[in-house]
Amino acid sequence: MGKTAISTYILIGINVLAFGWLALQQQSLMMNSSHDVLAILNAGANLNPFTLGGQPWRIITSMFLHFGIIHLLVNMYALYVLGTLLEPALGTTRFLLVYFFCGIAAGLASLLFNLYTPSAGASGALFGLFGYRLGAEVIGNFHDRQKLLSIFLNFVVFVVINAFIATSVSVDMAGHIGGFVGGLFLAALHFRLRWFIKKKYLALLLVLLASTLFVLPKDQLRYYQIFQRVLKAEDHTDELYKNVTTNSELKDSLNAMIPVWDSIASSLNAINKIPFQLSADTAILRDYIQLRRQETFYRIKQIERESYVYYDSLEIVNGKFRSLPELTYVLNYKIIETQQELEDTIASHNALLEPARVYYDEHWKETSDINAAKYYRIGQKDSLGRWQGVAIDYYKNGDIQMKGKYSKDMKDGIFIYYSDHHTYESAGRYDKEQPVGKWENFHWNGSLESEVFYGDQIFTATVFDSLGNPQVVNGNGNAKRWYSSGQLAEEGRYKNGRKEGLWYGFHRNGRPYYKEQYRDNRLIHGVSEDLDGRRYVYDYLSEYPFPEKGMPAFKKYITQNKREPFYKPSHGKVKLTFTVGIDGSTWNYVIIQGLSPECDHEAVRLLKEGPRWRPALLHGQEKIPSQGYVEIDF
């Protein structure tokens, strides 16, 4: 029988070295962050889907890893006390067999009774040693009540201390119980039944116990594998959006994702037995997979039709995403080094934005008179008062009039406009205030009216009547538009996607309204007549706002009144757009290309204090709010 506790000191040394190596890597002694827990898991902690998923060695390595210096010190003290007492009495080989038997029993209990909780530490084996000693003393001193009472009191104190520590560092209680039961079991075999006294038989029993690892239920593993497939599909989809450059390739790639989501859903439904604690998460995950499939389907349709109206469908799906309850078990055990930095950056950025609600009159001029307002906008503004991010415009009654996204006050992204009777009006994309790509326009009844492409030139590809009948196909054909009453409103011809020749318009009562001559989409000459019989002659210049006293006079005003900022670049231009009202006033100044904050501010001041503008004229006669554009040199 051995007289020393050499294996006890070796076990303590291995545990200390393992902790020191990991603490050095993590630069932490407490090891209490989520990153530290993931590092311990990667180093070999015990976790059901990992251990049962092809890494059985974790049931041993987890015995030498600890969640912080306190966890380590308490366990090593207990190992020293128990080891120096038991090892000389049992002998080194038998002591090690008992130690690892109890540790494996603890690991198996953790796998069976814990749900996706990483476990580590020597506690399970130590509880087993205590159970072994307690069992031996109970059996050997059954008739000595005073000694039994002392043994049980010591055990209660030990359990209370370890329970407190376990709560503090989230140590595995199932493992503690499993190890303790394993120790009692061995004590009963040895001291009551006198079985497995020989070390070789005890070693065989240890191997048999470890072998049960391969017949444990795989329910957690199957659910985990499905969860990983969801994460992988999400990552793959995100990579597609980042790296695929053409719509055709993206559509083909997204089409390939539809059967992937179907397969994942089928695999989830095929799991026969799911732990009760996972039933709620399983229902949430099932809904989530279906929503991801719907999202992929709508994005494919959006590409096929080149239609942004599917963003409404995607928004509904996203709303359902947001309404899903949170998962109790998020099985993503990846270390993301910059996650906290990213969250801090987002929080810092959002802190600069303030929620805003602004009211507008019928001409979209900001007003403080809520009762006179026709529209209002809800969104966020930055510290300079510029709209940033998603904004939604509403009619006064609360119906949505527009959804869009702004960047530094500029329309920059997808915009969808709605009529006051809940149908689409138009949908498309802006790039810094300029419409780009395909825009869809809709009739009063919500049916598609036209598809227009914006680039270097404007190309009208298709035009439909309100019943869906094609009038212009591939940019060629005669187009007619009717009022909701059925009265003809306008008719003319498109050639190669451009207005060409004579176009005729009519008032709602059927009287002639205008006759306009177009050449390659440009208005050459127009004549219109109002309901009182007054005639107006005009050309393309009437379609744009203009300084009332002419552009030369406006440029002279700029030169005479411009205040050159003290701090500015050597030279450059400030380019800005603004709204011109029907009364000639200007507002809604948007810097398209800035030079410096001082120059930008001066450019806006010059417009605010400058001469009035003549608004654009619809068909040469009706003043309408319009967008102006100027460049001011510094």
SS (H, E, C) 163-206: HHHHHHHCCCHHHHHHHHHHHHHHHHHHHHCCCCCCHHHHHHHH
Segment 375-392 mean pLDDT: 94
pTM of the model: 0.74
Model confidence band, residue 160 (pLDDT cutoffs 50, 70, 90): confident
Residue 4: predicted pLDDT: 83
Q: In terms of pLDDT, which residue wins out, 555 or 155?
A: 555
Confidence bin at 415 (pLDDT 50/70/90): very high
Spans of all domains in the chain: 6-215, 219-323, 443-541, 546-633
Distance CA(303)–CA(309), nearest Å, equals 11
DSSP-based three-state secondary structure for 6: helix
Q: Is 123 a catalytic residue?
A: yes
Average pLDDT value for residue range 149-160: 69
Active-site annotation holder among 176, 190, 443, 619: 176
Write down the catalytic residue from 62, 119, 123, 253.
Answer: 123
The string of pLDDT tens digits covering residues 227-248 is: 999 999 999 999 998 888 788 8
Beta strands at 476-482 and 488-495: parallel, antiparallel or unpaired: antiparallel
Q: How confident is the model at residue 341 (pLDDT cuts 50, 70, 90)?
A: very low
Q: State mean pLDDT over 439-468.
A: 94
Contact 327, 281 (CB under 8 A): yes
Whether 601 is catalytic: no
3-state secondary structure 229-261: HHHHHHHHHHHHHHHCCCHHHHHHHHHHHHHHH
| Range scoring the smallest mean pLDDT among 141-150, 429-438, 584-593, 623-632 | 141-150
Q: How far lies 477's CA from each of 452, 480, 578, in Å?
A: 14, 10, 36
Is domain 6-215 classified as CATH 1.20.1540.10? yes
For the chain, what is the mean pLDDT? 90
Asked whether residue 470 carries a pLDDT value surpassing 70, the answer given is yes
> Which CATH code of 3.40.720, 3.10.20, 3.30.2420, 1.10.10 fits the domain covering 546-633?
3.30.2420
C-alpha torsion angle, residues 624, 625, 627, 628 (rounded to 10): 80
Q: Which residues pair with 633 in a beta bridge?
A: 573
pLDDT tens per residue across span 500-537: 999 999 999 999 999 999 999 999 999 999 999 999 99
Query: What pLDDT score was predicted for residue 169?
Result: 54
**pLDDT tens readout for residues 7-23:** 999 999 999 999 999 99
pLDDT category, 349, cuts 50, 70, 90? very low
